[in-house]
Structure 1
Amino acid sequence: MDPRDHASAFESARPMLLGLAYRILGSRAEAEDAVQDTYLKWQSADRSAIENPASWLTTLCTRRCIDLLRSARHARVDYVGAWLPEPIHAAAEPDPGEKLSLASSLQTAFLLVLERLAPKERAAYLLHEVFDVPYPEIATALGLQEGACRKLVSRARANIAQSKARHTTPLDRQERLLEAFQAAVASGGTDHLAALLSDDIELCADGGGKVATVLHVLRGKAEVLDFIGRALREYWSPYAWDATDINGARGVVLRKDGAVAACVSFAYDEHGAATNIYIVRNPDKLARLGEEGAGALDGARQAR
């Protein structure tokens, strides 16, 4: 095969590999490392013996992600405060179909549900349910029997269905919440926002121990609204607000002196009430969000 064809084969697979790696790891930086490691292995492989480049690359990338995930889980034991996935720019998709499936699988609430799954269970579910990889290829990637892979996906599917984390809230509802949230922070008045929140609303913030933020999860309307109307109003008054699409839903990036200082996203129940407010303040997780032209990391299904 011509070297240019080798490069083309990898570049064709790259969007899917990045999308898969990010969903497994919850970190853009780690996802890019996994894909780069896969590329280096691809360069040194005997490619004449590889019948299906897409399948080979998916297998290698999946195994590398599982190794990285296991290491990351040990590191997160000592994480200061709440851990949230690294936010990325990914468009909210109002139309049903394949794009909806890809977008909904990027939402913060869904990625946090995936955190509850064992590494191979998470990988099997994503490969089959999001990227349409057939079970024989999943079995090869995970080094398991096909029947075992089916059981992994079945357990993961039941867990995710119970959490009700993977659904889409109408964009106009998301816009209303975002506007009410911004108004509450600006004025301290929270009555309008309160009407859009579920009774068991939760707010958590990820500062990674590197910036000041609330370290425990706030629960219930009274506690959450008091924090928004009092603390956030005081601390965020100098920030510039940029409403944008974050992880497949409407969110906001806040800047101070041009630098990204915070990112906020939301989760909703099936009735459209907000159930969670996610605030990322960890500067390591915000660095790439502020890059011009960084682009979305939403992945794509690969022709196999």
Structure 2
Amino acid sequence: MAQRDDASAFEAARPMLLGLAYRILGSRAEAEDAVQDTYLKWQSADRSAIENPASWLTTLCTRRCIDLLRSARSARVDYVGAWLPEPIHAPAELDPGERLSLSSSLQTAFLLVLERLAPKERAAYLLHEVFDVSYPEVAAALGIQESACRKLVSRARANIAQSKARHATPLDRQEQLLAAFQTAVASGGTEHLSALLSEEIELCADGGGKVATILQVLRGKAEVLDFVGRALRAYWGDYRWEVMDINGGRGAVLWKDGSAVACVSFAYDEHGAATNIYIVRNPDKLSRLGGDGGGEGAQGGAREAR
């Protein structure tokens, strides 16, 4: 019975742990590794001495993620081309309030802002602001004083607010942009797409050095529209499109011969104009984008943490 209760305690915490780990690491694969490492430590621990299993698991997972993040940052120095978070499919099964809270913290633009924060700063912000963990518990998880923890969260909050990376864009606006993007790729006609883009629009692609893609960031309407209407029209002409929710917003996965070959998603400003187009081509980051909703665990957030 005790073993069954121990397993139940871990399974109850798993969605929150996976959601936290993905947001810290920006990688579903690395997040799963962190959660698995946490599980192995849980199995070997003296669980009779653990008063609060959820808090213990959160602390262990957070510290493991910070270690992995430090290693990942070193590896990303030598990354070929732009690095983008691994895209996840997050099904829209939550009520509107929960969906808004969770999707805003899954957006690629938000995850890229987190990349600019120090590991402990990132973890502190996510635990307190996204997962509703109290300051004393966050401080304990990070092994720091509560006053230092509050400073980390305050500094991270200011950086994220300045970036304006967490806000909701109406779904109909997202669908308009995706439809215009598909039309531009299919026909080369970019007039409708142009009207939906910010003047400072940027497009970047992550191939990881494993497939052919652009290495530089394209900036401004002229460069972006030329690439979409000319190059992507030639490259993506025989791909099959599947529209789905990618990192909390409307995007698409493109398929060829039964394999995902590209994923496209977007970021918007507070007025609904598209500011970024993100294309992931790295096959290692596309392997989990099947039809089974492989990202549902990573959407875990405040609901599980409360």
Task: With the length of structure 2 as denominator, give the TM-score of the two structures.
Answer: 0.97
Aligned to 1:267: 267
Aligned to 1:130: 130
Change in CA separation of 1:135 and 1:158 when aligned onto 2, cut-off 3 Å: same
Offset, 1:290: 2.5
Structure 1 unmatched runs, 5+: none
Change in CA separation of 1:176 and 1:86 when aligned onto 2, cut-off 3 Å: same
Q: CA RMSD in A?
A: 1.4
Offset, 1:95: 6.3
Structure 2 unmatched runs, 5+: none
One-letter identity of the residue aligned with 2:143: G
Describe how 1:134-145 pairs up with structure 2 within 5 A: 134-145=134-145
Deviation by residue 1:200-242 (Cα, 9 ceiling, x = unmatched)? 0000000000000000000000000000000000000000011
Aligned to 1:199: 199
Aligned to 1:299: 300
Q: Find out whether 1:47 has 2:26 as its counterpart.
A: no
Residues matched between the structures, number: 304
Deviation by residue 1:106-151 (Cα, 9 ceiling, x = unmatched)? 0100000000000000000000000000011111110100000000
Distance 2:94 2:70 in 1: 35
One-letter identity of the residue aligned with 1:300: G
Q: Is the 8 A contact 2:103 2:248 kept in 1?
A: yes
Change in CA separation of 1:94 and 1:54 when aligned onto 2, cut-off 3 Å: closer
Aligned to 2:116: 116
Offset, 1:100: 1.1
Change in CA separation of 1:293 and 1:100 when aligned onto 2, cut-off 3 Å: closer
Deviation by residue 1:246-277 (Cα, 9 ceiling, x = unmatched)? 00000000001121010000000000000000
One-letter identity of the residue aligned with 1:11: E
Offset, 1:300: 3.0
Q: Is the 8 A contact 2:204 2:278 kept in 1?
A: yes
Aligned to 1:210: 210
Distance 1:29 1:53 in 2: 24
Distance 1:238 1:273 in 2: 28
Q: Is the 8 A contact 1:38 1:60 kept in 2?
A: yes
Q: Is the 8 A contact 1:93 1:248 kept in 2?
A: no
Distance 2:89 2:226 in 1: 29
Aligned to 1:151: 151
Offset, 1:103: 1.2
One-letter identity of the residue aligned with 1:243: V
Change in CA separation of 1:61 and 1:285 when aligned onto 2, cut-off 3 Å: same
Change in CA separation of 1:227 and 1:94 when aligned onto 2, cut-off 3 Å: farther
Distance 1:97 1:146 in 2: 30
One-letter identity of the residue aligned with 2:190: T
Q: Is the 8 A contact 1:92 1:103 kept in 2?
A: no
Percent identical pairs in the alignment equals 84
Distance 1:27 1:303 in 2: 20
Deviation by residue 1:155-206 (Cα, 9 ceiling, x = unmatched)? 0000000000000100000000000000000000101100000000000000
Q: Is the 8 A contact 2:244 2:251 kept in 1?
A: yes
Change in CA separation of 1:72 and 1:303 when aligned onto 2, cut-off 3 Å: closer
Distance 1:139 1:8 in 2: 26
SS of residue paired to 1:270 = coil
Distance 1:121 1:92 in 2: 29
One-letter identity of the residue aligned with 1:99: R
One-letter identity of the residue aligned with 2:294: A
Distance 1:38 1:10 in 2: 9
Aligned to 2:179: 179
Describe how 1:51-70 pairs up with structure 2 within 5 A: 51-70=51-70
SS of residue paired to 2:254 = strand
Change in CA separation of 1:93 and 1:46 when aligned onto 2, cut-off 3 Å: closer
Describe how 1:212-251 pairs up with structure 2 within 5 A: 212-251=212-251
